């Protein structure tokens, strides 16, 4: 088997051989070389020829080395046969080694030794592995292409993304020469991808009303200072917000409020889809994210109560609750008086006034029955029903209409209403003044009359309010307590919270 090499390569070989071969021997051998188009041809064998003479030279096909026979022994003349394949040195990768960071490689191209051909379209491939030894080496899908030494820093750039967030990456380059020869792929060192952790120092609720998340107001999420670990490894992106409610200030029963994932929330204890009520507590959770989408841990604000006496109290009344005659969402004023919290209007009233109106009168209730009646101006809703006598001395708690507001609400006792009476002013109707220890807004006692069976009586002249033991009547210019234990009359209700 014979192989040819170029004339330039031959001259190089001869230059190396000169120190080993006497000129007269070299002359004798070269003059007898086989030639092809005037170029000497060295033979290539799998092993040293069995018969040899002084000065014979051959190329070993296994190790690609030249051997010269000195008359007794075959001697290796120099290194491997000149390669026709390109190679490269100094392959390194630099950049930001974290998810979302950009990295790139640089290297030095080495032309093939035979013809010094220029580089053309060397192939690069990014890999990831599970450790710095390259365990589980896997090509990153889609992260391959062509480059040259001059363009490598741009052409090989890669913005790190999953699945390498907790692994190692490396860059492989397979050199390619202009004539089309491919060298062996060279791999850079393995570099760990840092696990970025974005965070906020705190979360809080803005636009509170004296420490409360007042019904009807829009509260806002306030995020603390943003940072990442390691530092400066990921710019701040858009955080994720989630509003929660709970039953107490420690977060018991923490529940995400459906659909409330913006940076603000309009408080509405009457919105049944939210799940909370006037006695609930609200908080906001803020989850930091880098601009590349890496999420940190949610930070939760302190729990803020929805209501205190003096703030609006929202109730979503429905006929299914067994008390309410119609479906209505009402925001009740609440007034603090002598340690008790009173509704600022009758139960069921949609407006607040001293004069009679269908909207300010509220609903009417028979003694010791929980079903309310609404007067729409021409008839009652539901249709009036005469109940059997229920002449017990005290209104049963299970029938107390005020329980529709919450278990802590109730009809007032005679003693509670008597104290409140001391603050009343007015003539044809009464209101509670803002002095004498009572907070604004004023609490109005409107003229509402009463129902005798299904007939509305004296709506513009008097108002009667149930207590737990009797009824309190206001008639024109005077007010006094009367005892009513009759089931055929219905009076309004004013609720109190201790």
pLDDT in tens, the chain (498 residues): 333 344 444 444 444 444 444 333 333 344 445 555 555 677 888 888 888 888 888 888 877 778 888 888 888 876 544 556 889 999 999 998 887 789 999 999 988 765 667 899 999 999 999 999 999 999 999 999 999 999 988 899 999 886 554 589 999 999 998 878 888 999 999 999 887 889 999 999 999 988 899 888 999 999 999 998 877 767 899 999 999 999 999 999 999 999 999 999 999 998 989 999 999 999 999 999 988 788 899 999 999 999 988 888 999 999 999 999 999 999 998 888 888 899 989 999 999 877 789 999 999 999 889 999 999 999 999 998 877 656 678 889 999 999 999 888 999 998 888 777 766 654 344 444 443 334 345 677 788 888 988 899 988 877 788 888 877 765 544 455 555 656 567 899 999 998
Supply the mean pLDDT for the chain. Answer: 82
C-beta atoms surrounding 203 within 10 Å = 22
Torsions phi, psi for 425 (to 5 deg): -135, 170
- Using CA atoms, how far apart are residues 470 and 367, in angstroms rounded to an integer? 9
- The DSSP letter of residue 322 is S
Task: Give the CA distances from residue 226 to residues 222, 290, 429, in Å, rounded to whole numbers and listed in that order.
Answer: 12, 10, 58
- What's the fold here for domain 201-305? Immunoglobulin-like (2.60.40)
Cβ(457)–Cβ(450) under 8 Å? Answer: yes
Cβ(256)–Cβ(238) under 8 Å? Answer: no
Residue whose C-alpha is closest to residue 433's, from 463, 446, 425:
425
* CB contact set of 56 (below 8 Å; sequence gap of 6+): 29, 49, 68, 69
- Using CA atoms, how far apart are residues 274 and 260, in angstroms rounded to an integer? 9
- Using CA atoms, how far apart are residues 320 and 314, in angstroms rounded to an integer? 17
Question: If you count DSSP H runs as helices and E runs as strands, how many of each does the chain have, helices first?
Answer: 5, 41
- Using CA atoms, how far apart are residues 33 and 25, in angstroms rounded to an integer? 12
pTM over cut 0.85: no
Cβ(231)–Cβ(327) under 8 Å? Answer: no
What pLDDT, in 10s, does the model give residues 157-186?
999 886 554 589 999 999 998 878 888 999
Class of domain 87-192: mainly beta
Residue whose C-alpha is closest to residue 348's, from 327, 369, 367, 320:
327
- Using CA atoms, how far apart are residues 288 and 240, in angstroms rounded to an integer? 7
Cross-sheet strand order for the sheet of 87-95: 87-95, 102-110, 158-159
* CB contact set of 150 (below 8 Å; sequence gap of 6+): none
Cβ(96)–Cβ(191) under 8 Å? Answer: no
Per-residue confidence (pLDDT) for residue 390, from 0 to 100: 62
- Using CA atoms, how far apart are residues 323 and 460, in angstroms rounded to an integer? 25
Strands 102-110, 158-159: pairing is antiparallel
Cβ(493)–Cβ(401) under 8 Å? Answer: yes
**295-318 b/e (C-beta count within 10 Å ≥ 16 → b):** ebebbbbebbbbbbebbbbbbbbe
User: How is the chain split into domains, by residue range?
Assistant: 7-80, 87-192, 201-305, 313-497
Per-residue confidence (pLDDT) for residue 440, from 0 to 100: 40
Element (H, E) at 144: strand 138-147
Instruction: Specify whether the backbone of 368 is left (phi greater than 0), alpha (psi in -120 to 50) or beta.
Output: left
- Using CA atoms, how far apart are residues 67 and 75, in angstroms rounded to an integer? 5
- Using CA atoms, how far apart are residues 119 and 155, in angstroms rounded to an integer? 15
Q: How far is CA 372 from the centre of its chain?
A: 46
- Using CA atoms, how far apart are residues 12 and 75, in angstroms rounded to an integer? 18
- Using CA atoms, how far apart are residues 285 and 302, in angstroms rounded to an integer? 10
130-138 long-range Cβ contacts below 8 angstroms, 24+ apart: 130/167, 130/168, 131/168, 131/190, 132/168, 132/189, 132/190, 132/192, 133/190, 134/168, 134/170, 134/187, 134/190, 137/170
């Amino acid at each position: 088997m014979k192989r040819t090499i170029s004339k330039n390569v031959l001259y190089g070989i001869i230059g190396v051989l000169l120190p080993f071969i006497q000129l007269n021997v070299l002359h004798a051998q070269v003059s007898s070389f086989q030639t092809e188009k005037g170029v000497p041809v060295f033979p290539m064998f799998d092993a040293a020829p069995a018969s040899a003479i002084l000065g014979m030279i051959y190329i070993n096909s296994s190790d690609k080395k030249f051997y010269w026979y000195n008359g007794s022994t075959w001697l290796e003349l120099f290194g491997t046969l000149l390669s026709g394949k390109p190679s490269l040195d100094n392959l390194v990768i630099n950049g930001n080694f974290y998810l979302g960071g950009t990295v790139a490689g640089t290297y030095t191209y080495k032309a093939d030794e035979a013809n010094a051909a220029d580089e053309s379209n060397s192939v690069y491939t990014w890999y990831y592995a599970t450790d710095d030894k390259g365990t589980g080496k896997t090509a990153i899908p889609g992260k391959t292409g062509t480059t040259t030494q001059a363009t490598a820093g741009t052409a090989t750039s890669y913005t790190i993304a999953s699945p390498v967030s907790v692994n190692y990456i490396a860059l492989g380059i397979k050199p390619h020469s202009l004539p089309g020869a491919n060298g062996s792929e060279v791999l850079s060192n393995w570099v760990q991808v840092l696990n970025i952790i974005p965070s906020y120092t705190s979360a809080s609720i803005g636009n509170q009303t004296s420490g409360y998340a007042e019904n009807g107001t829009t509260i806002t999420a306030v995020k603390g200072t943003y940072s990442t670990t390691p530092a400066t490894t990921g710019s701040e992106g858009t955080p994720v917000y989630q509003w929660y409610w709970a039953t107490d200030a420690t977060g018991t029963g923490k529940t995400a409020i459906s659909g409330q994932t913006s940076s603000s929330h309009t408080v509405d204890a009457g919105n049944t889809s939210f799940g909370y009520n006037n006695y609930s507590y609200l908080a906001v959770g803020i989850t930091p994210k880098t601009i590349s989408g890496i999420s940190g841990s949610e930070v939760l604000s302190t729990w803020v109560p929805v209501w205190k006496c003096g703030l609006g109290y929202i109730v979503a009344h429905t006929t299914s609750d067994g008390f309410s005659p119609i479906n209505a969402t009402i925001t009740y004023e609440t007034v603090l008086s002598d340690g008790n919290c009173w509704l600022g209007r009758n139960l069921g009233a949609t407006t607040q006034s001293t004069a009679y109106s269908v909207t300010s009168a509220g609903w009417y209730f028979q003694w010791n029955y929980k079903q309310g009646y609404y007067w729409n101006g021409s008839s009652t809703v539901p249709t009036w029903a005469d109940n059997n006598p229920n002449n017990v001395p005290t209104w049963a708690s299970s029938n107390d209409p005020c329980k529709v507001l919450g278990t802590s609400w109730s009809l007032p006792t005679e003693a509670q209403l008597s104290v409140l009476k001391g603050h009343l002013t007015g003539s044809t109707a009464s209101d509670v003044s803002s002095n004498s220890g009572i907070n604004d807004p004023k609490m109005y006692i409107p003229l509402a009359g009463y129902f005798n069976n299904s007939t509305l009586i004296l709506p513009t002249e008097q108002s009667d309010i149930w207590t737990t033991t009797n009824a309190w009547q206001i008639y024109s210019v005077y007010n006094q307590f009367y005892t009513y234990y009759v089931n055929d009359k219905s009076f309004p209700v004013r609720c109190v919270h201790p």
